[in-house]
Amino acid sequence: MDKIATCLWFDGQAEEAAKFYVSVFKNSRIVETSYYNDAVPSEAGKVLTVTFELEGREFVGLNGGPQYTFSPAISMFVKCETQAEVDTLWDKLVEGGAPVQCGWLTDRYGMSWQIVPTVMLKFLQDKDREKSKRAMQAMMGMVKLDIAALEKAYDGR
């Protein structure tokens, strides 16, 4: 168990969301589920929390109610090695959600995700500011990120 885990507040969909996320990412699993007891009679027997791991990172889904919702101020940043990985994760996560811009999407639960090719991180850190600028400009015009188009812009082709 990690000392620090990310807690995600849901309005009754924690178990459904955890199962969905675990189905999207390799090396992922549901660790445990806890339930409300009779201390909260209206919720007794319903799922309280679901602890799950995505690629070895621990999360806790909490069914806390409608008081709080997700915002893009917090997002899941996923580093992808290939276009196939970008495409697969994008397509699964955006289903029932909405594409945004620059590799961002909102999933069916309202969680924001950034699906980012690792090559883009390299481009943004390049000491050649013109190359970096071209890659950034190309990214700003995209919704789902396209590695070949980013490379073309970076190289000035």
Fold adopted by 6-63: 3.30.720
Per-residue confidence (pLDDT) for residue 40, from 0 to 100: 83
Average pLDDT of the segment spanning 97-125:
97
Q: What is the pLDDT of residue 26?
A: 94
Reported as a single tens digit per residue, the pLDDT across 22-38 is: 999 999 999 999 999 99
- Rounded to the nearest 10°, the torsion over CA 52, 57, 58, 61 is -60
- Give me the chain's average pLDDT, please: 96
Q: How would residue 8 be classed by pLDDT, with cut points 50, 70 and 90?
A: very high
Handedness of CA 101, 22, 73, 120 (dihedral sign): negative
What CATH number labels 75-155? 3.10.180.10
User: Domain extents for the chain?
Assistant: 6-63, 75-155
**Structural contact between residues 27 and 44, judged by C-beta atoms closer than 8 angstroms:** no
Could you read off the pLDDT of 49-102 as tens digits, one per residue? 999 999 999 999 999 999 999 999 999 999 999 999 999 999 999 999 999 999
The dihedral built from the CA positions of residue 135, 143, 147 and 81, taken in this order, carries a sign that is positive
* Parallel/antiparallel/unpaired status of strands 29-35 and 112-117: unpaired
